[in-house]
Amino acid sequence: MEFLSDPIKVIYEWLMLTFTGWGWAGWVSSLVINLLAIVGFISAIMVLDILLVWVERKVVARFQDRLGPNRVGPFGIFQPFPDIIKLILKEDITPEGADRVPFNLAPILSLGSVLFLWAVVPLASRIYGVDLNVALLYLVAAGSIGTLSIIMAGWASNNKYALLGAYRMVANMISYEIPMVVALLIPTVLAGSMSLKTITEAQSTNGGVWFVLVSPLGALIFLIAAIAELGRSPFDLNEGESEIVSGYHIEYSGMKFGLFYAGELLHAFTFGGFVAALFFGGWHGPWAEQYPLLGAFYFVAKAMFGYWVIMWVKYTVPRIRIDHMLAFNWKFLTPLAFALLMVTAVVHRVLLDVPTWLYVAGMFLSNVILVWITVEMLRAQARREREAKASAQLAAAD
């Protein structure tokens, strides 16, 4: 029964007794246990990544009215394993003239940057890596390593298409990290902390209100910025097949390409987890406090839902032009994010001491009013543009 209430503590104490019983020093035993925990957690994440390959292929098949993998194993669930074997057996090619060190390091950093993020993700009340008081800042910093890996891959490949894809990613990074950081500040304001654990716990207090009900617009802005950071459609200009023939990883083959692909899938699921932790209560659910393993199940289910939404957008919305992408961010998304942050901070302070239902209603209504003002401003701008265009056509006709 104690294992169900605190599994990490039980496993730690059992291993500590085992290793000290072998005559190991306490600090050596603690170090080995931590290393085993890291290796075990990374192994679990990589097994999940293999499952995500199957999930993604089945989901896109349904969107495109196909069956997807259905031969290897029941419902094709073992299909990723022959794919991995195929990637391992493929010839590892390094282009002539490539800078070998950054070329070979880029796919490792691409996957590693995603694994770093899981250090601060609270899977359950007592299952988490580390409770950083600046976890959201760590999220932005560690996520940027993945962008650096793409730049390294494009630059080191000695290929113009790869370099163009990397430069597109730089533009994407500079643009959409700004609304993402601003959107991250909204849960910080609501919870009074940048710790993911504290933010998750704040959504169980005061009546257990998820932040998506308090700031639905903030959740939407974060989701859009996250998809852009992932480089997924409609923001996949860093690997636009129709223009730059796969972009930054065009020169990669075998498992080096496989690491990029695995990193992309796991990154999408990781952002689904962050959406769950920041806005959907994280691991909270019935009996999650008493049974942390059940809380971990709730978290993974919510993260999978966020991942499905990201897939839904990817396989539904077509790619946009880079000038439209940048204009959408700088002229619309970034100003809206800053406006939402200011409105959230003011309304949150005004309604801080009112009953929970009134607080939630007031915060939600502030989001609705901001959306209505934004829509009216866009309609007025579109009307002015139509009138200016009509005037220009009349002048040309005269």
180-228 residue pLDDT tens: 999 999 999 998 889 999 899 888 765 578 999 999 999 999 999 988 8
Cα–Cα distances (Å) from 294 to 114, 286, 349, 394, in that order, read: 24, 9, 34, 68
Comparing 75-84, 226-235, 242-251, 297-306, the range with the smallest average pLDDT is: 242-251
Give the mean pLDDT of 252-273: 86
**Residue 103 three-state SS:** helix
Task: Express as a percent the part of the chain with pLDDT over 90.
Answer: 20
3-state helix, strand, coil in the chain (%, to 5): 75, 0, 25
> At a CB cut-off of 8 Å and minimum separation 6, what does 339 contact?
370
Task: Summarize the confidence of residues 20-32 as an average pLDDT.
Answer: 87
Rounded Cα–Cα distance for residues 174 and 189 (Å): 24
Q: How confident is the model at residue 365 (pLDDT cuts 50, 70, 90)?
A: very high
- Residue 124 in tokens: 């359950």
Q: How confident is the model at residue 176 (pLDDT cuts 50, 70, 90)?
A: confident
Q: Are 340 and 367 in contact (CB under 8 A)?
A: yes
Q: What does the pLDDT read at residue 219?
A: 93
The region of weakest confidence among 48-57, 113-122, 237-246, 306-315 is: 237-246
pLDDT of residue 124: 85
DSSP-assigned letter for residue 205: S
Please give the average per-residue pLDDT across 140-159, as a whole number: 84
pLDDT score, position 398: 66
Structure tokens at 269: 């699921």
Name the residue with tokens 């999650």: 288
Q: Which residue has the higher pLDDT, 19 or 243?
A: 19
- φ/ψ of 251, rounded to 5, equals -90, 5
| Predicted confidence (pLDDT) per residue in 79-130, tens digit | 888 888 888 888 788 888 888 888 888 888 888 888 888 888 888 888 888 8
Reported as a single tens digit per residue, the pLDDT across 376-393 is 988 988 888 888 888 888
Q: What is the pLDDT of residue 83?
A: 85
Q: What is the pLDDT of residue 187?
A: 92
Is residue 238's pLDDT more than 80?
Answer: no
> 372 falls in which pLDDT band (50, 70, 90)?
very high
- Mean pLDDT estimate for the chain: 86
β-pair partners for 124: 127
The pLDDT of residue 185: 93
In this structure, which amino acid lies at residue 301?
A
Contact 298, 283 (CB under 8 A): yes
Distance of CA 299 to the CA centre of its chain: 14
Phi and psi torsions of 127, nearest 5°: -125, 100
| pLDDT average, residue stretch 125-146 | 85
pLDDT at site 347: 92
Which pLDDT score, from 0 to 100, does residue 21 have? 86
